[in-house]
Structure 1
Amino acid sequence: MIALTGFLLLGLNFYRTEHSQVPIKSIDKDKIQLFYRDDCPDCKKIFKQIYLHNLIKQDIQFINLKPINNRHYIDEYTIHTVPTFIHKNKRYAGTQKEKIKEILK
């Protein structure tokens, strides 16, 4: 029963993170930024892998670009496509698992 409750809470938190409409107040430069849209098929394809990584490491800041209040990051960070990962001087836009692993290191 406890495991089932934990699994359900994990799933609910995953859904909330993926579909977050909360405006991001500031970028945490120490974390990896993941710029995504919750209606993007490519973002959905990699989101579970990234979310599970973040459960362990807690080193990713998720920025949903769908809400109007977050769209200024598109110009600020020169985002041309989603998903886009940015960490310090590294940047990757796409869904190739090997390239994503390089950014997540």
Structure 2
Amino acid sequence: MKQRIKRIDKNKSSKSLTKIIIIKVFPVIAFLVAGFLLIPYGSMYFQNNKVANVNTKAEAILFYNANCSHCQKIYPKIFWHNVLNFNNESKQIQTINVQNSNNKHYLADLAIQSTPTFMKTTNTNQRLVSTNRQQIKQFIQTGGH
């Protein structure tokens, strides 16, 4: 009889743990995953909409259009690159949404012809139009040379 009671208690304890995981842990994990996936897109549409000037201390600039499918592909990678390099301004990639009317002047001022366009801040003639991670990484580090 004693063994049977212990077995029931273990079973009850296991069900209780499962219930806690489902009710308390799973929603937190789901929230974190959703945030990880959605935060860059929120940033893409709602930040970078009025950029007063080019940040010459940044490593490079990304000119993008929030509705461009190629830009949507690459922007989250740049967003998380900037988050990881938050304390190092010289490693940041400034992002400018040229779709926004406040930033459209950059298209003419810097002769941006397509998006996504990466441009070095030290030499505005050094540019790359690509979504290839390896090409972007090489361009950011070496300017494409």
TM-score clears 0.5: yes
Cα distance, 1:40 vs structure 2: 0.1
Structure 2 residue matching 1:33: 3-state secondary structure: strand
Cα offset, 1:71, TM superposition: 0.2
Q: Normalising by structure 1, what TM-score?
A: 0.83
Q: Aligned ranges for residues 67-86 of structure 1 at < 5 Å?
A: 67-86=100-119
Query: What are the superposed Cα offsets for residues 19-72 of structure 1, whole Å, 9 maximum, x if unpaired?
Result: 136311111012111100010011111112111111112401110011111000
- Return the match for 2:41 from 9, 15, 33: 15
After superposition, the CA RMSD in angstroms is: 2.0
Q: Which has the higher strand share?
A: 1
Structure 2 unaligned regions, length at least 5 = 1-24, 87-91
Does the 8 Å contact 1:86/1:92 carry over to 2?
yes
Gaps of 5+ in 1: none
CA contact (8 A) 1:33 1:85 kept: yes
Distance in 2, matches of 1:30 and 1:3, equals 36
Aligned partners of 1:11 and 1:95: how far apart in 2? 18
Over the matched positions of the two proteins, sequence identity in percent amounts to: 29
Runs of 4+ in 1 over 4 A off after TM superposition: 1-12
What TM-score do you get using the length of structure 2 for normalisation? 0.62
Q: Secondary structure at the match of 1:99?
A: helix
**Larger RCO of the pair (alpha carbons < 8 Å, separation 6+):** 1
Distance between the aligned counterparts of 1:23 and 1:48, measured in 2? Answer: 19
